[in-house]
A and B are shown apart, each in its own frame.
Chain A
Amino acid sequence: MPDGATVAIPPGLAIAQAMPDVLPPVRARRGLWGFLRRYPTMAIGGGLLLLMLLMAVFAPFLWTKDPTSLAPALRTREPGAQFWFGSDMLGRDVYSRVLYGARVSLLVGFSVAICASAIGLAIGLFAGFIRLADSIVMRVMDGMMSIPPILLAIALMALTRGSVQNVILAITIAEIPRVTRLVRGVVLSLREQPYVDAAVASGTGTVMIMWRHILPNTLAPLTVQATYICAAAMITEAILSFIGAGTPPIIPSWGNIMAEGRALWQVKPYIVFFPAIFLSVTVLAVNLLGDGLRDAIDPRLAKKL
């Protein structure tokens, strides 16, 4: 019997993780304190992410100005009392732009994670269960995956007008094959399990097997993968904006703020610096959350912590 490590890592996992076992987590100690003690990374990641979320949602009430209003006479001011994070080359307030920018990054990250997971799950289940579809679907996925995701996203962005929706769509399309592969890998390994064999033998319908046995076991690794997709999507959005093929620049997103400030990197580093910190911290938070989740649902790792 193939061991867990070799089978469970499908060759398509972008940010590959050790595949967790499909067993329920070891019961945690009760209460918030117990949770924090047990899963510190998840707690830190979740906490930071929650902070960012609150900041994004309540941006208008956090002493911000209109992030798009210009004041060319007040351009490139150093951080100070008037502009907490300084002003950019059009005299816009970097603090306000960074706070509002969180909305775009988080929106792109979450949307891509959810859409790519949902679509990838559907295709992966389909491919994993229907042999005939499998080879066709997986060849298409192989084809898509053989185009590096950023290249694919750039090419897709070239097709359409820059908008947040199109960025989400482009990154989602680029991420789907990886989810599909993951789900299909899980399905294929589960299909070999005795209890699935038993279900098939007892005449349970395919849909029922999927629903009862496959889907629940897929959800755990998929959730972990989704957090990594979320993190990757936020960085991809920044890269797309950085090279000029992303979110329309009229919308303040961290990628856009950095792209605009990068020419002045040496003289006015704060324009790049602040969004870079926020982006890095948010991506970090999501990654920590993902790690925490993975540890939490992987009993063998959890035992050792």
Chain B
Amino acid sequence: MERRNLFKASAGIAAATAAGFPSPGVSQNAAARTLRFVPQANLANFDPIWGTQYVVRNAAAAVWDMLYGVDENLVPQPQMVEGETVSADGLTWEFRLRPGLLFHDGTPVLAKDVVASIARWAPRDPMGQMIRAIQDELVAVDDRNFRWKLRRPYPKMKFALGKTGTPCCFIMPERIATTGNATMITEYVGSGPMTFKRDEWVPGARAVFERFGRYTPREGTSSWLAGPKRVLVDRLEWVVMPDPATAANALQAGEVDWWESPISDLVPLLRRNRNIAVDIADPLGNIGSFRMNHLHAPFNNQKVRQAVMMAINQEDYMRAVVGSDTALWSVLGGFFTPGTSSYSEAGGEVMKRANMDGARRLLAESGYANEPVTCLVGQDQPLLKPMGDVTADLLRRLGMNVDFVATDWGTVGQRRAMRNPPGQGGWSMFHTWHAGADAVNPAGYNALRANGNDAWFGWPTVPSVEAGITEWFDAPTPETERAAIDKINRAAVENVVYAPTGFFRSYQAWRRNVSGVVKGPLPFFWGVSKS
């Protein structure tokens, strides 16, 4: 019998003892090894390729490992791969896996598993699609080596395989990865540092993960998805709490250890508690979006879109969404993540200062004929509901005919896919947000694409934005990249691909006996310990 199993068995006995005969010593020990975490949302499904919500990715990142992983500077570092060689023409990529990689069922991770995983992921991912379009072949050479041959160079390859934006390229066993990407996987055999306890999963309430003892971490220091993923607790329990007040109570009472997304109004309350630490969750934050339907009146009219963008007071949105704490939000003059090298305010003056009178004039000029503006607002989303309220007020003051559809996020999800006119089941606008980590550059920024029918909901057609994006992908130097970014930003503002409603960060909070919590676009459970 291996030592790991021995340990597992004794841990099991300890747990059983704790459960059967509550004795303070044992249960306290067990409690110290169990990290209880309140996630931002319910883990409703667990196929990170099939469903692309952030919450699924966050859980999946602990269970499945990736070939590369971005560090806190968003530079992709090797994770499962030992290294790669690229041919001089940039067309042939040879990857080599590092030794000792195991799936949770004990079988080794082989190149064929990787190839199957990439093949399932690529069609679901905007960057993956781009690579697939220029792919010559993707083959396993032997157990540890695989080769990806392209017809054109794709310099952002490592970023594509290691980015945080959904879907991430998680590596699964071949038999699971060959599941069609329209079907949900039913087996959760991971390759990462934690195993998923399927039998303890209660969707809507709980998800349980355990340390995978035979995971081999990399050497070096840990930084976001890069470096060693050393899990320091035995067990991670996700406790789903849909009501923020309940979660705040639980954290104060010590019933949970770490809350991913406390609402900012409750933060003062948490700060008063000396056992609780509060900090920014993700420095890259989020970008709020006022998404318009470019196919139908009134937002098929560029001037109407411009009028709305001019009328928007991002400060109102931000106060409504994240509160009065001005350290948490800022007004945007562009579409990319502020604080990163790609943030640009080219052409973005109009976004930064609300001008209601100018907006009314522009609306009058536009020939707006009082067509109803069908606003889809998901009431069950704490970030989107207040945005919708501000919008209703804004459009009414602007003099537009507001048709406010208050519904749940599921219905928004259905209706926003309809291309019919608003009166026939379609829509005019909805709110959403984009993770700052996805908006750091055009590669993963799905919502900025303006290629008509292939674009994201709203289907904007703006050739100048698309031209800018192509230029960025082909940019040989940082200067040309920058020029391309400015071009994209200017075109996106002028044509109002969508109207950003501001940049905001959110908090996370944890009990002080938990250490190792880092800021990042997702919660990283490795490196976190509890005393």
B323 touches A70 (CB 8 A): no
Contacts of A90 in B (CB 8 A): 320, 386, 389-390
Q: Which of B266, B324, B393, B404 meets A248, CB within 8 Å?
A: B404
A250 touches B386 (CB 8 A): no
A250 touches B389 (CB 8 A): yes
Instruction: Report the separation of the CA atoms of residues A156 and B41 in the bound assembly, to the nearest whole angstrom.
Output: 25
Q: Which 5 A-B pairs have the closest CB atoms?
A: A72-B319, A248-B406, A263-B244, A72-B316, A70-B393
A262 touches B243 (CB 8 A): yes
Give min CB distance, A160 to chain B, whole Å.
10
Contacts of A75 in B (CB 8 A): 319-320, 323-324
| Complex interface residues of chain B between 242 and 258 (CB less than 8 A to chain A) | 243-245, 248-249
Instruction: Report the separation of the CA atoms of residues A75 and B317 in the bound assembly, to the nearest whole angstrom.
Output: 12
- The stretch of A167-175, A217-225, A265-273 in contact with B is A265-273
A264 touches B407 (CB 8 A): no
| Complex interface residues of chain A between 29 and 75 (CB less than 8 A to chain B) | 68-70, 72-73, 75
A263 touches B406 (CB 8 A): no
Contacts of A262 in B (CB 8 A): 243, 245
Known: A70-B390, A162-B407. 20 other contacts (CB 8 A): A69-B393, A70-B320, A72-B390, A73-B316, A89-B320, A90-B389, A161-B405, A162-B406, A244-B380, A244-B408, A249-B385, A249-B406, A263-B243, A263-B244, A263-B382, A265-B245, A266-B245, A266-B248, A266-B269, A267-B266
Instruction: Report the separation of the CA atoms of residues A72 and B389 in the bound assembly, to the nearest whole angstrom.
Output: 11
Give min CB distance, B526 to chain A, whole Å.
31
Contacts of B406 in A (CB 8 A): 161-162, 248-250
Whether A76 contacts B265 in the complex (CB less than 8 A), given A90-B389, A90-B390, comes out as yes
| Complex interface residues of chain B between 356 and 387 (CB less than 8 A to chain A) | 379-380, 382, 385-386
Summed over the interface, the residue pairs from A and B with CB atoms below 8 Å come to a total of: 77
**Is B466 engaged at the interface, CB distance under 8 Å to the other chain?**
no
0 or 1 for each of B403-422: is its CB under 8 Å from A? (1 = yes): 01111100000000000000
A266 touches B404 (CB 8 A): no
Looking across the interface, which residue of chain A has its beta carbon closest to that of B265? A264
A72 touches B379 (CB 8 A): no
Give min CB distance, A38 to chain B, whole Å.
46
Instruction: Report the separation of the CA atoms of residues A68 and B396 in the bound assembly, to the nearest whole angstrom.
Output: 11
Give min CB distance, B361 to chain A, whole Å.
23
| Complex interface residues of chain B between 216 and 275 (CB less than 8 A to chain A) | 243-245, 248-249, 263, 265-266, 268-269
Instruction: Report the separation of the CA atoms of residues A249 and B408 in the bound assembly, to the nearest whole angstrom.
Output: 12
Looking across the interface, which residue of chain B has its beta carbon closest to that of A162? B406
Instruction: Report the separation of the CA atoms of residues A188 and B265 in the bound assembly, to the nearest whole angstrom.
Output: 58
Give min CB distance, B372 to chain A, whole Å.
14
